[in-house]
Amino acid sequence: MKAKIIITPKKAVLDPQGKTVQNALEHMGYSGIQGVHVGKYLEIDLAPGSDREAARKALDEASHRFLSNPIIEDYRLEIVD
């Protein structure tokens, strides 16, 4: 079982990295791109036999306290087999 956590900058926060990647994509001729947001992806391996709901609860807390900064980032947590 794994946890997958995707962290992205909040919409209200300046994202110069996303903007620069967007400009580069447009420059390369990729059209129709409205916005790019560069974030982080964490993959966490869970010990065999972990309780799915307990893991979700603990990692949700960890994502809020530590893995993301709620002032500037949003996160999405997913537990997969």
Partner 1 sequence: MRFAVIQFPASNCDQDAVHALRHCFAQDADLVWHKDTDLRGADAVIVPGGFSYGDYLRCGAIARFSPVMAAVQRFAAEGGHVLGICNGFQVLCESGLLPGALIRNRSLQFRCEHIHLRTVTPNSPFTRATPAERILRIPIAHGEGCFFADEPTLARLRANNQVLWEYCDAQGRVTDDANPNGSIQNIAGICNETRNVAGLMPHPERACEAILGSDHGRSIFEGLLATLRERAVPAAPVPAAIAA
Which residues in this chain contact partner 1 in the complex, by CB under 8 A?
A: 9, 12-14, 16-17, 20, 40, 66-67, 69, 71-72
Closest CB 35 distance from partner 1, rounded Å: 17
Say if CB 29 and CB 72 are below 8 A apart.
no
Long-range contacts (CB closer than 8 Å, 24 or more residues apart) made by 26-35: none
CB of 14 to partner 1, least distance (A): 6
Smallest distance, partner 1 to C-beta of residue 65, A:
9
Measured CA to CA in angstroms, residue 66 lies from 7, 22, 79 at distances of 12, 28, 18
Q: Which is nearer to partner 1, 11 or 48 (CB)?
A: 11
